[in-house]
Amino acid sequence: MDSKFQVSLEKAALQHHLSREEIILLLRAQPGKEQNELFAMADRIRERYQGDEVHLRGIIEFSSYCRNDCHYCGLRCSNNNINRYRFSVEQLVNASCQAVELGYNTIVLQSGEDPWYDADSLSRLITEIKKKKNVAITLGIGERSKEEYRQLHQAGADRFLLKHETTDAELFNKLRPGTSSDKRMQCLRWLREIGYQVGSGNMVGLPGQTLESLADDILFLKELDVEMAGIGPFIPHSQTPLADVPNGDLQLTLNTLAVARLLLPYCHLPATTATGTLHPEGRQMALNCGANVIMPNVTPYDYRQLYQIYPNKAGSTDDPKQSLKKIVSIINQVGRKVSEGRGDTPKPSFQIKSQNSVFLNDKHSN
Ligand code: SAM
Ligand code: SF4
């Protein structure tokens, strides 16, 4: 094995900090000795900082309507070939109650960017759910105004998941017409300032994405000091402009996850559904190279096949009970246990560290 590789790996494990060049070196890890060492080190760091518990976040996909036209996603507004659905507030409360009854301590409410749900109705919903049980509520509803983010946080939303998708601004702007990388960063700053536990993350395998930009993704996640980072492969959908682009590479996805674990030891890292879709054992592999979270689908059976961001999503033919059973078995297979807590990451003294940040300069001060 290249001695520079070994030196970078040991530095990452000890200091949790690497230069962009050193990150790229590790991202290039080849199957065999290099990858074995990288994954084993990431697994050791996961064990040391996160223990053996795997946190479950039950995800409810409550609307497939979206005003955006992202080139990578099957829910894009130009796709006329899907049946759209949207839960009423009552349906969403019922689905959340089912998740609570199944024992989830975190519920993730995810949707296309659907303004039909205004901040008032979402706030009512959050209040209703919190009356049943003090579960952690994560929102994954895309870009909103700062005031709306604030109102939702005041109503009880604890966490917000907004993936930065890629730090390559040109690529971001091309793949998400009508939106911008600057605005995305601004939203992430707002979420941070308001006091959410912030989740972000990126896809691996977008067309035109480089190892340099993947290294920047990890550096960005470190700089934002995210509580959670979703790193998963891009999977093409036939009804999108990226239909002919190949799947993101599984090995590169796992390398990215492992390096993220080394540099973000306290961060929650999910074994993503996309990784489980790309390979039947993908989530087990991810759990063995740094991941400590799984997000089982709690969307009622009748709707889950309609939320097609990419085809053949793992678990899309199961109901909420079956999904939970399968995920628990995956966790047991790798010798880990399901956490009984909420898996919060409190950070009372958080401050954005670098005023001269490469990524977080406030170009849109509010
Ligand atoms: N609409 C919200 C947003 O975009 O932030 C949340 C829902 S969106 C479906 C959730 C995530 O799905 C996105 O952040 C993106 O990373 C992921 N996604 C969309 N299309 C994908 C694809 N073809 N392959 C892998 N992940 C995809
Ligand atoms: Fe809409 Fe999110 Fe899909 Fe983009 S990724 S089209 S914002 S659901």
Q: What is the pLDDT of residues 14-26, one digit of tens each?
A: 999 999 999 999 9
The predicted model scores a pTM of: 0.95
pLDDT digits (tens, 9 = 90+) for 275-316: 999 999 999 999 999 999 999 999 999 999 999 999 989 988
Helix, strand, coil proportions of the chain in percent (round to 5)?
A: 40, 15, 45
Q: Is the CB of 276 inside a 6 Å radius of any atom of ligand 1?
A: no
Overall residue count recorded for the chain in this entry: 366
* Token pair listed for 291: 């991941």
The CA-atom distances, in angstroms, between 308 and each of 68, 118, 239, 301, 345 are 15, 23, 10, 13, 31
Is a pLDDT exceeding 70 seen at residue 220? yes
Report the atom number in ligand 2 closest to the C-alpha of 112: 8
Closest CA to 203 of 160, 253, 141: 253
Strand positions, DSSP E, 177-300: 197-204, 228-233, 293-294
Ligand 2 midpoint to CA 43 (Å): 32
- ∠ CA(278), CA(247), CA(334), 5° rounding? 25
Protein residue closest via CA to atom 2 of ligand 2: 112
Going by DSSP bridges, is the β-strand pair 337-338/228-233 parallel, antiparallel, or unpaired? unpaired
Start-end of H helices in 245-354: 250-263, 273-278, 282-287, 301-304, 320-333
Q: Is the CB of 275 inside a 6 Å radius of any atom of ligand 1?
A: no
Rg of the chain over all Cα atoms, to the nearest angstrom: 19
Protein residue closest via CA to atom 4 of ligand 2: 70
Report the atom number in ligand 1 closest to the C-alpha of 161: 5
* Token pair listed for 162: 């907004």
Report the atom number in ligand 1 closest to the C-alpha of 112: 1
The dihedral built from the CA positions of residue 162, 157, 350 and 145, taken in this order, carries a sign that is positive
Is a pLDDT exceeding 60 seen at residue 337? yes
Which of 75, 143, 173, 206 most suits a substitution to test ligand 2, by most atoms within 8 Å of the C-beta?
A: 75
* Token pair listed for 185: 């960063």
Q: Is the CB of 75 inside a 6 Å radius of any atom of ligand 2?
A: yes
Domains and CATH numbers, the chain: 3-342 (3.20.20.70)
Which of 66, 69, 73 most suits a substitution to test ligand 1, by most atoms within 8 Å of the C-beta?
A: 73
What is the pLDDT, as a whole number, of residue 343? 86
Q: Is the CB of 270 inside a 6 Å radius of any atom of ligand 1?
A: no
State the amino acid at position 220 in one-letter form. F
The pair phi, psi for residue 165, each rounded to 5°, is 70, -55
211-218 mean pLDDT: 98
What is the pLDDT, as a whole number, of residue 350? 39
72-77 mean pLDDT: 98
- ∠ CA(15), CA(5), CA(230), 5° rounding? 60
Q: Is the CB of 309 inside a 6 Å radius of any atom of ligand 1?
A: yes
Closest CA to 302 of 320, 290, 285: 320
Ligand 2 midpoint to CA 67 (Å): 8
> String of b and e for 54-76 (b: at least 16 CB within 10 Å)?
bbbbbbbbbbbbbebbbbbbbbb
Ligand 1 midpoint to CA 195 (Å): 23
Q: Is the CB of 220 inside a 6 Å radius of any atom of ligand 1?
A: no
What is the pLDDT, as a whole number, of residue 108? 98
Report the atom number in ligand 2 closest to the C-alpha of 142: 7
Is a pLDDT exceeding 70 seen at residue 62? yes
Ligand 1 midpoint to CA 73 (Å): 6
Report the atom number in ligand 2 closest to the C-alpha of 111: 8
Ligand 2 midpoint to CA 129 (Å): 25
217-229 mean pLDDT: 97
The torsion angle over the Cα atoms of residues 160, 341, 292 and 233, rounded to 10 degrees, is -30
pLDDT digits (tens, 9 = 90+) for 339-354: 988 888 745 433 344 4
Closest CA to 164 of 114, 113, 224, 207: 224
